[in-house]
Amino acid sequence: MSDARAPDTGRRIALVDVNCFYASAERAFDPSLEGRPLVVLSNNDGCAVTRSPEAKALGIPVGEPWFKIAPRAKEWGLVARSSNYELYGDISSRVMELLGRYSAWLEVYSIDEAFLGVKGTPDELLLLGQTIKGAVRRNIGVPVCVGIATTKTLAKLANKWAKNNPGLNGVCHWDAMPAQAREALMGRLSVIELWGVAGRLTKRLNGLGIHSILDLANADPVRIRDRFSVVLMRTVMELRGTPCIPMEEERVGRDQLIVSRSFSTPITTAADLRQVMSVYAQQASARLAKHGLQATVLTAFAGTSHYNPLDPSYPSVCVTLPMPTADPVLLTRASHALLPRIQEGIKYVRAGIMVTDLRPTGRQSPLPVFAKPHEERGIGTLLEDISRRYGRGSVGLGHAGIRGGPDWSMQRTMLSPRYTTNWDELPLVRAA
C-alpha cells in the first residue's frame, strides 16, 4: 500500500482520459463505425492522427500517410474521417463539465484528459472511477479510462495500465495494486513511456544505465537534478509518491495549445473574468504566432476552488472561429462566449482557454506587409482612434481580408457532420 511514513489522508489524483478521443467522438454519433477499423486524418487529410483499436490491430502506425492506407482500406473494411474539430471541441467541453461534477478540483490537461482531485479508500476510489467511466460513456457517449494515484505521474501510469489491461475494466488505482505488481510493471516499461520524458532524454538516461521506469524511480533525485533538470527530478519524486508537479500554465501540444492559470484572489464577476479571458486570448495569440500556427476552434473554461466545494462550477464553452486565425481580437471575442455561463458571486479560482485544430499560418501566404499579427501593429488602438474620429462602424476587422479568408485550400473530403454545433447537420434518427 502507500508509504507507511506519510499519514494517508486518502487524497489522490485521478487522470481521466477519453480512449482514442477523435475516433470515439465519431462513433458516438455513427454507431455503424463501432467495431470497424477507423482512422481520423490530420488537416488536409494527410495522415492518421487517431486510430481505433481495430486500426491499431491492423498494424497501422500513428502518423501513417493516408495515401499509404487508402489502397487497402476497402479490403480491411477501414473507414477514414477528416478531423471534425467542432465536434471534438464540443464533446470535450461536455466531458470536462461532467467530470467537474465528481470533483471540486479539476485541471483540464488537454482536449481529452483532465486531472481530478479525489479522496477516499482504494475501494471507494475504484468505485468512483467506475462511476465516472459509466457516466461519461452514458451521458456523453464516449469511453474513458481512469488512473488513480498519489501523484500526477503515477496517475498517468495507472491510466496507461488501465488502458492496456482489459481485466481492470478501465479503472486502475495504483495503491490498490500489489507492490510486487507495481514494481514488475515499472521494471518492464521503458522510461520513454513516462509522462514528460521525450526521446532525446531517453538516450541520455540510457547512457547512465537508466532504462526502465523502475531504474528512474530508484535513481538519486539530486544526481538527476544535477545531470538533467529540476523537472526530471520532480518526475523521480512523483514516481516515489511525492506530489510535486504543479499545474502547468501553458502547454503546446501536437494539435492544441492551452493557456490557463490559477488566480491569487478569486474572481466573482463576469466583468472581471472578461479581462482575464482577454489576457489569455492575447497570450494564446502570441504563442500561436510564435509557432507560426492558426487555430479554428477555441474552448474557454473556468473553475471554482477545491477548498470551497459548496458551489462547484466548471463552465466551459466551445466556439468555432470564423476562419483559421491567430488574431488576438478574434480570439478574445470568442473567449468571451464563456461569460454568460458565469454565475455571479461564485468564487472562480481558475480559468483558461484552449485552441485546437492548429495549422501552419503559411497556408494563407499573406503579403509581407500584412504578415505581422495585429497586436504588434497596434491594430486595437488604431481601430479605436479611427472610430473615435469618424464614428462607430466606420472601420472594422475585415473577416474576409487577406490575412485570414475562407480556407479554400483545406481538403476535408471525409468530414462527418457537425452533429452538435450546427442546426443543419443534426444527427438523423431513423423512424422506420
Which CA distances in Å does 398 have to 200, 327, 337, 380, 382?
A: 44, 11, 21, 13, 14
Q: Which CB atom, from 27 or from 173, has the smaller least distance to other proteins? A: 27
Q: Locate 392 and state its grid cell.
A: 462607430
Q: Round to whole Å and give the CA distance between 301 and 260.
A: 9
By CB under 8 A, residue 399 contacts other proteins:
no
By CB under 8 A, residue 416 contacts other proteins:
no
The least distance separating other proteins from the CB of residue 341, rounded to whole angstroms, comes to 5
> Among residues 4, 198, 367, 428, which is the contact residue for other proteins, using CB under 8 A?
428
By CB under 8 A, residue 74 contacts other proteins:
no
Q: Which CB atom, from 90 or from 357, has the smaller least distance to other proteins? A: 90
Q: Which stretch binds other proteins (CB under 8 A): 42-50, 90-98, 233-241, 401-409?
A: 90-98
By CB under 8 A, residue 302 contacts other proteins:
yes
Q: Locate 272 and state its grid cell.
A: 472581471
Q: Round to whole Å and give the CA distance between 116 and 13.
A: 6
By CB under 8 A, residue 420 contacts other proteins:
yes
Q: Round to whole Å and give the CA distance between 425 and 416.
A: 9
The least distance separating other proteins from the CB of residue 360, rounded to whole angstroms, comes to 26
> Among residues 260, 283, 316, 364, which is the contact residue for other proteins, using CB under 8 A?
316
By CB under 8 A, residue 268 contacts other proteins:
no
By CB under 8 A, residue 94 contacts other proteins:
yes
Which CA distances in Å does 89 have to 111, 113, 138, 356?
A: 7, 12, 18, 8
By CB under 8 A, residue 422 contacts other proteins:
yes
By CB under 8 A, residue 314 contacts other proteins:
yes
Q: Which stretch binds other proteins (CB under 8 A): 60-68, 307-315, 352-360, 364-372?
A: 307-315
Q: Round to whole Å and give the CA distance between 181 and 422.
A: 48
By CB under 8 A, residue 153 contacts other proteins:
no
Q: Which CB atom, from 181 or from 426, has the smaller least distance to other proteins? A: 426
Detail the DSSP E strand segments found in 71-225: 79-82, 106-110, 113-119, 144-149, 171-173
Q: Which CB atom, from 98 or from 354, has the smaller least distance to other proteins? A: 98
Strands 79-82 and 38-41: parallel
Q: Which CB atom, from 109 or from 419, has the smaller least distance to other proteins? A: 419
The least distance separating other proteins from the CB of residue 65, rounded to whole angstroms, comes to 29
Q: Which CB atom, from 198 or from 428, has the smaller least distance to other proteins? A: 428
Q: Round to whole Å and give the CA distance between 121 and 100.
A: 20
Q: Locate 199 and state its grid cell.
A: 526521446
Detail the DSSP E strand segments found in 21-72: 38-41, 48-51
The least distance separating other proteins from the CB of residue 389, rounded to whole angstroms, comes to 33
By CB under 8 A, residue 229 contacts other proteins:
no
Task: Kindly state the DSSP code that residue 212 receives in the 8-state scheme.
Answer: B
Q: Round to whole Å and give the CA distance between 119 and 121.
A: 7
By CB under 8 A, residue 107 contacts other proteins:
no
For the chain, give the number of residues. Answer: 432
By CB under 8 A, residue 175 contacts other proteins:
no
Q: Round to whole Å and give the CA distance between 192 and 265.
A: 39
> Among residues 47, 50, 100, 125, which is the contact residue for other proteins, using CB under 8 A?
100
Burial class (CB in 10 A: 0-12, 13-18, 19+), 189: middle
Q: Which CB atom, from 80 or from 157, has the smaller least distance to other proteins? A: 80
Q: What amino acid is encoded at 211 in this protein?
A: H
Q: Which stretch binds other proteins (CB under 8 A): 73-81, 108-116, 340-348, 384-392?
A: 340-348
- How big is the site for other proteins, counted in residues (CB under 8 A)? 44
